[in-house]
Amino acid sequence: MPYTNAPVIEVTGLGKSYDGTPVLSGLDLSLTSGVHALLGPNGAGKTTLVNILTTLVPHDAGSVRVLGLETRTDAARIRERISVTGQFAAVDDVLTGAENLVMMGRLLGLSVRDARSRAAVLLERFDLDSAASRRVVGYSGGMRRRLDLAVSLIQTPEILFLDEPTTGLDARSRLVLWQQIRELAEGGTSVFLTTQYLEEADELADQVVVLDGGRIVAQGSSAQLKARVGGDVLQVRGAHGQLLRELPTDGSAAGVAAAAAAVAATEPTLRVELHRPTLDDAFLALTGHRAVPPDDSDTGQDVNDQSEFVGSGVAS
């Protein structure tokens, strides 16, 4: 699919309330092909926006067009051209990984032979070939999520929506998913992903949309968002690494050298470090608070992912 400049997602004046409480207010968004990250803390309205864009939930006000089609009137045609993977894997536990993929292929109209060959390709791509003939009930959380994404790619969608694809995943599954998202994008599929991980938006997205309290508070490339936060900062640290102060610089060699020279003139033994603004800093500057990571991000580990299979219910 060629990239074009026509918007793949176009939202004007979008409003959505639940029980009279506004969840999204006056949202305007125009996105062309590419990888887009919707970044926001818990409860910002990310899932609600994805549900509206994927025609699962109706909106109250404004207009929403996906691939040039109105979500209110063209839901069926939109659904034929997109795929969605939610926060919780929607695969059948009693079937094996391969059976899940073949079943979905058959439901989408592939012959048995084509469904099997597509399943084999996807199992390999998602690093699941060795688990193909095991029941999903014995898969780890990361394996389920990879299978879920594989199922959503039986047919190549024009837009893939991913709602927090890596929340709670172990590092290995996260890297596999990131790699697959990059390859899909290179093949021309647009990706719209929600995330609470600033690193994920930074890694993957051409454009980052920052949502806070149901409103878009910033939009741009991660470099542009970082630039809005200001230049590099020279951190001055004490003997035990503690941060003593921060000196703003313009990031140039001369600017950094001048700031370091000013420290050296009076306190030559202190350490200095150049700190580049991260997306996390950008979030703080744009919203006034830090993005709160998910509870499980302390370890970055899915507890089920200590090993590839959990429990003893693995059958082939």
Ligand X SMILES: Nc1ncnc2c1ncn2[C@@H]1O[C@H](COP(=O)(O)OP(=O)(O)OP(=O)(O)O)[C@@H](O)[C@H]1O
Binding site for ligand X (CB under 6 A): 18-19, 23, 40, 42-48, 196
Please give the Cα distance from 156 to 137 (Å, whole number): 27
CA–CA separation, 28 vs 268, rounded Å?
A: 52
Q: How near is the Cβ of 267 to ligand X at its closest, in Å?
A: 44
Beta carbon of residue 299, minimum distance to ligand X (angstroms, whole number): 19
Q: How many CA atoms lie within 13 A of 316 on its CB side?
A: 6
Shortest CB 252 distance to ligand X, Å:
39
Give yes or no for a contact between 112 and 102, defined as CB atoms under 8 angstroms apart: yes
Nearer to ligand X, 45 or 165 (CB): 45
Q: How far is the CB of 57 from ligand X (least distance, A)?
A: 8
**172 or 290: CB nearest ligand X:** 290
Q: Which is nearer to ligand X, 127 or 202 (CB)?
A: 202
Q: How far is the CB of 76 from ligand X (least distance, A)?
A: 23
Nearer to ligand X, 126 or 197 (CB): 197
Q: What is the rounded CA–CA span in Å between residue 48 and residue 202? A: 22
Cβ atoms of 166 and 195 within 8 Å: the answer is yes
Give the shortest CB-195-to-ligand X separation in angstroms.
Answer: 9
The helix or strand, by DSSP H or E, that contains position 138, with its residue range, turns out to be none
Between 138 and 214, CB nearer to ligand X: 214
CB closer to ligand X out of 109 and 288: 288
How many angstroms separate the Cα of 61 from the Cα of each of 14, 134, 292?
5, 46, 29
Torsion of CA 190, 47, 147, 316, to 10 degrees: -160
Q: Which amino acid is at 245?
A: R
| Alpha-carbon span 108 to 35, nearest angstrom | 25
